[in-house]
Chains A and B, each alone.
Chain A
Amino acid sequence: MTEANALIEKYKLAPVPPNVSRLSVLLQGRFASNAVEIAQIIKDDPILSARLIRIATNPKRRDEEPMEIEAAVMRLGVGSILVLVMGELLINAVLRAFSTMLGVALEPLDSEGRELKQFVGKIQFAGKANGHVFLRIPVSVGPWFVTHALGQEYAATAEELVPDVVGEMLNIVCGNFKSNLCDAGLTCKLFPPTVQVSEGFELEWSEEEKKQRIGMTTEGLPFFCDLVITPIATT
């Protein structure tokens, strides 16, 4: 047992997600040119496989026969697959945060929610991995968000508490995500979050960066998370 695993057991912490070891293996770069071997790593996880095929498939052809995983790997390339695996780690962190802190289960939502007036929480991470994570909560959902996190007794003051709750939820999500990156070998640190109200949100990203937009819903309410990351060179 490694020292880290012994400490996880000692403090009864949640086990490290399997996608951390997938990311670690992919970062070693031994499979950079071998789509079959990369596909083998992805195939163990049906959720990851489904997202890979969905992203690799042209939206206009989604009704046609599903693409093979190997073909999807060849189409996207290892750089995009690294970001896909990181996106899965981020989604996992969001699902855990919402489930534990708010007591709700999120489902995928096919929307980017750019047009909404919303609270936008933003955190930068830097080191061997560099980028930003955004958590976006529509302004109209703010009081629901606060009362689910803190209880109905805070309904009267919910509006003023929204920025703090959005900031802390983003902190929790990014703290988990950053820990996963560090455990995969991408040592990095987080910067303090900022929370602003935005209308007509546009994600800022350069041509070199890769992005993932993740829409989620519960009780008919939309939530959004975005990952913008500088491509990582495999060794």
Chain B
Amino acid sequence: MAGGAIKQTDVHAVAGATIFREARLLDSGEWADWVAMYSEDAVYWVPGWLDEYTTTNDPDTQVSLLYHDARRGLEERIARIESRKSITALPLPRTVHQISNLEASETGPDEITCHSVFSVHVYDPRVAKEHLRHGRYAHTLRREGDTWKIARKVITLVNDRVPTVLDFYSI
């Protein structure tokens, strides 16, 4: 490891702190703090599935479930919900994110790549129905000054026949 590089234990600690904090902010609806974890040019990508085995790999020529190439796209989604005009948020489902199998490695100067798996339990108090979204996260974290920002998040949604609504809080 080159001089000045962070240690592997620190890499894992940074990754865990970031990803678990993100999950907590999503579940508690603290979305201003959540979106502030992303860099302004962050890519937020949920690929679609081409067949039983393969996800889309090029957002410019294939359709994704969600694709934002800047934090602004997430901010629009937040504003839509907070406007109290979108019926998808009246009422808003309650969620619990569970994340495990975390691996993290230093993949460049001031860059950490993390892989993890998630289950998000989604409960809709309107109809007392619940469902579970599950899949894999790949986060790319980048150091900006004193803080680590999420520069890229790829969410591979395993169960992609989605009931009714899919939004940033349910994956």
Partners in one complex: no
Q: Residues of B with Cβ closer than 8 Å to A? A: none
